[in-house]
Amino acid sequence: MKNKKVTLDFNELRKGGIIKQRQKDYFILRTRIPGGYLKAEMLAKFMQIAKKYGKGYVHLSTRQCIEIAWVYIKDLSKLIKDLKRIGILKGACGPRSRNIVACPGSSVCRFGFLDTEKLAKKLDKKFFGLDVPKKFKIALTGCPNSCAKPQENDLGFMAQGEPEVDLNLCTGCTLCAKVCEQVCSRAGKPAAIIMGENKRPVYRKEFCFFEGDCVRVCPVNAWKIKRTGYAVFLGGKVGRFPMFGFKIAEFVKEEDVSRIIEKTIEVYKKQANKGERFGEAINRIGIEEVKKEIL
Amino acid sequence: MSENKAEQILDLKGVPCPMNFVKTKLRLEEMPLGGILEIILDDGEPIKNVSASIKEEGHKILKVEKINEHWKIIVKKQ
């Protein structure tokens, strides 16, 4: 074998989730797991790759992905071929849209209103790895508990449910008003459900957090979820200069999520300077202006 | 219809989540179908969590009543 010099285009590698390590000639492989859902048989394949190319361990990233460090420079092209053959997806670094994170969602979680797994997988096909001014992170969360932290992503979707009560079924036990008061008081707000005349609950939508505690607690199922949708947060980030996303919409239907992402990326690319996160651009331009363009 | 009279009483005052639900579940398991259990729960998280969990397990809550600082719920095993 000739000792041929390895030439690498670092930017091209970064695009495919290969990150230069602190140590000379070693790289970290960043994979991608849409929504953080992985079949057990795939997990075994990650283990094989970690043993073959790394040091036999993996690191779990905050974006629900597996990273494998200690890949030697001369093994990179072989690794990339192996990943393709096995079906392990590569992640993204640099100025690109990232792995979509998701909470467990309604398929298993008792709080979840919407199926975040299904949606994450669908959106990944369309919106992963796109070129953007800096980074673009999307999070999907199944209820206002916000486990997937939609408020700290460039674009976050938080499922919510609006309740309604059937007074014919209500027995006047007052539990709904009690749990509602517990929820609302934590935010320093008046309760959305108060007990009215003849021990009948009165719903005041303007104070509601749409978390569904009343529905879960009602002993006779008098409270039901009338409609579900997503609240949309825009411009959130952490990093060196953290900021919370702006809530720009509520009860967005699932079929409109794709369109909103598409539009948001388009506006981000148009409005932000190179190297600028969307939140920073929004602070410069004004949220109302940006909101108008997206919705 | 006859009055829903509790055959057993489970006093869970001072028992935190999720032990209060575990105890409820175990007691219900010992009872026959259609059996009626009265449970006394603390205000706050206990009443909220335990009633939601009982419902999820498929049992029927017949009555909920606030008694001073506690809650009394009557559950029918399904």
- Contact A182/B at CB under 8 A: yes
**A137 neighbors A96 (Cβ within 8 angstroms):** no
Best to test chain A binding among B48, B67, B74 (most A CBs inside 10 Å): B48
Total number of domains in chain A: 3
* Distance from the B30 Cα atom to the nearest Cα atom in chain A, whole angstroms: 22
Is B1 domain-assigned? no
**A99 neighbors A34 (Cβ within 8 angstroms):** yes
Whether A17 and A81 share a structural domain? yes
- Which string of DSSP letters, residue by residue, matches A260-284? HHHHHHHHHHHHSPTT--HHHHHHH
- Cβ burial of B3 (10 Å; 0-12, 13-18, 19+) is exposed
Starting at the earlier edge strand, list the strands of the sheet with A246-252.
Answer: A101-102, A138-141, A155-165, A223-234, A246-252
Catalytic residue among B13, B17, B58, B74: B17
User: pLDDT at position A16, please?
Assistant: 80
Is B25 domain-assigned? yes
Is B33 domain-assigned? yes
- Contact A143/B at CB under 8 A: no
**A19 neighbors A91 (Cβ within 8 angstroms):** no
pTM of the model: 0.91
Which helix (H) or strand (E) segment holds residue A80: the answer is helix A76-86
Cα B50 to Cα B18: distance, rounded to the nearest angstrom = 8
Total number of domains in chain B: 1
- Kindly report the CATH number assigned to the domain that includes residue B20: 3.30.110.40
- For residue A1, pLDDT over 90 is answered with no
Per-residue pLDDT, averaged over B56-67, amounts to 93
**Domain containing residue B56:** 8-76
Which distant-in-sequence residues (6+ apart) come within 8 Å of A49 by Cβ? Answer: A29, A68, A79, A82, A83, A86, A88
User: Which pair of structure tokens corresponds to residue A207?
Assistant: 């104070």
**A66 neighbors A60 (Cβ within 8 angstroms):** yes
- Kindly report the CATH number assigned to the domain that includes residue A136: 3.30.413.10
Q: Tokens 């959130």 map to which residue?
A: A236
A171, B51: Cβ pair inside 8 Å? Answer: no
- Write the pLDDT tens digit of every residue in B4-27: 788 899 999 999 999 999 999 999
- Write the pLDDT tens digit of every residue in A142-199: 999 999 999 999 999 999 999 999 999 999 999 999 999 999 999 999 999 999 988 8
Per-residue pLDDT, averaged over A253-279, amounts to 97
Q: Using CB atoms, pick whichever of A171, A179, A221 lies closest to residue B48.
A: A179
User: pLDDT at position A6, please?
Assistant: 62
- Kindly report the CATH number assigned to the domain that includes residue A51: 3.30.70.3340
User: Which pair of structure tokens corresponds to residue A49?
Assistant: 């790759």
**Domain containing residue A177:** 167-221
Burial A97-116 (b: 16+ CB within 10 A, else e): bbbbbbbbbbeeeebbbbbb
Is A1 domain-assigned? no
**A100 neighbors A243 (Cβ within 8 angstroms):** no
Task: Indicate the average pLDDT of chain A.
Answer: 94
**Catalytic residue at B59?**
no
**A93 neighbors A13 (Cβ within 8 angstroms):** no
